[in-house]
């Protein structure tokens, strides 16, 4: 509770009272402890917890949240109450649930987690990718968690993989055409016009092996 000092300053204090008998009288002893600094630190922590864009939580090691910050609701759409009264795996993609519970068993041994990636189900049915770090406090049976939305990064990685797969497919199709063509084909280095590849029809047509073609000046080798 707050108290005001003689010079007008505000101090946060904690009262502890004890009742005991002294002679024929009942005596109440009050101990007052200055907790101003502790309250300041707690208030700063609470502000950071509330304003952080990352998902911050305190979770039991048996798979329930004790506390979540507003970033959970902003990202996933559920209320704070939804998170506190349902098991954590309920919010994950089914394919990621068993890995999370295995990680909680690992946390119970005191080992922290770094960069655990999983998919969280939003209230609208979509999913968000989140990368987590967890820091266990085994004696209290809890873990502190920090999660960051990596959905955009994951989408970019999937796009790059699709592009790479398409390029690999195009290269394979080109190679098949190159190898089976019934016309002679030479591939030249644009800088010095030397031969870097030749298809089987070309080597058969002129009677050279591929090794004899490679690195040769195209004008001198062919003409």
- Residue 174 · residue 185 · CB < 8 Å: no
Q: Which of 133, 149, 165 delimits the end of a domain? A: 149
Quote the CA–CA distance of 93 and 177 in Å, as a whole number.
43
- Residue 142 · residue 66 · CB < 8 Å: yes
Q: What is the mean pLDDT of residues 25-45?
A: 66
Q: How many CA atoms lie within 13 Å of 177's alpha carbon, on the beta-carbon side?
A: 6
Q: What is the mean pLDDT of residues 214-220?
A: 76
Q: Based on the structure, what is the number of domains in the chain?
A: 3
Q: What is the mean pLDDT of residues 194-198?
A: 88
Q: Which of 134, 149, 164 delimits the end of a domain? A: 149
Domain check: are 19 and 86 in the same one?
no
Quote the CA–CA distance of 97 and 10 in Å, as a whole number.
49
Q: Quick: pLDDT tens for 20-33.
A: 777 777 777 777 67
CATH code of the domain in which 133 resides = 3.30.450.20
In a domain, 23, yes or no: yes
Domain check: are 72 and 145 in the same one?
yes
Range(s) of the domain holding residue 124? 52-149
Domain check: are 67 and 138 in the same one?
yes
- pLDDT computed for residue 165 by the predictor: 85
Q: How many CA atoms lie within 13 Å of 140's alpha carbon, on the beta-carbon side?
A: 10
Q: Within 10 A of 60 (CB to CB), how many other CB atoms are there?
A: 14
Domain check: are 30 and 60 in the same one?
no
Nearest to 150 by CA among 124, 112, 121, 117: 117
In a domain, 174, yes or no: no
């Amino acid at each position: 509770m707050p108290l005001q000092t003689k010079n007008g300053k505000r101090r946060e204090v904690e009262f502890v009272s004890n009742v005991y008998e002294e002679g024929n009288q009942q005596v109440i002893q009050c101990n007052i402890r200055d907790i101003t600094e502790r309250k300041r630190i707690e208030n700063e922590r609470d502000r950071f917890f509330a304003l952080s864009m990352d998902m911050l939580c305190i979770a039991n090691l048996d798979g329930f949240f004790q506390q979540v910050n507003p970033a959970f609701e902003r990202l996933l759409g559920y209320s704070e109450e939804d998170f506190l009264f349902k098991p954590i795996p309920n919010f994950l993609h089914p394919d990621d649930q068993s890995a999370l519970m295995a990680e909680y068993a690992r946390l119970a041994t005191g080992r922290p987690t770094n960069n655990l990636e999983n998919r969280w189900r939003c209230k609208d049915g979509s999913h968000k990718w989140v990368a987590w770090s967890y820091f266990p406090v085994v004696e209290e049976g809890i873990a502190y968690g920090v999660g960051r939305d990596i959905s955009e990064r994951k989408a970019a990685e999937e796009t790059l993989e699709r592009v790479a797969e398409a390029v690999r497919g195009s290269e394979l199709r080109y190679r098949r055409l190159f190898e089976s063509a019934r016309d002679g084909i030479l591939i030249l280095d644009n800088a010095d016009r030397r031969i870097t590849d030749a298809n089987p029809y070309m080597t058969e047509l002129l009677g050279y092996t591929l090794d004899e073609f490679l690195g040769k000046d195209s004008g001198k080798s062919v003409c």
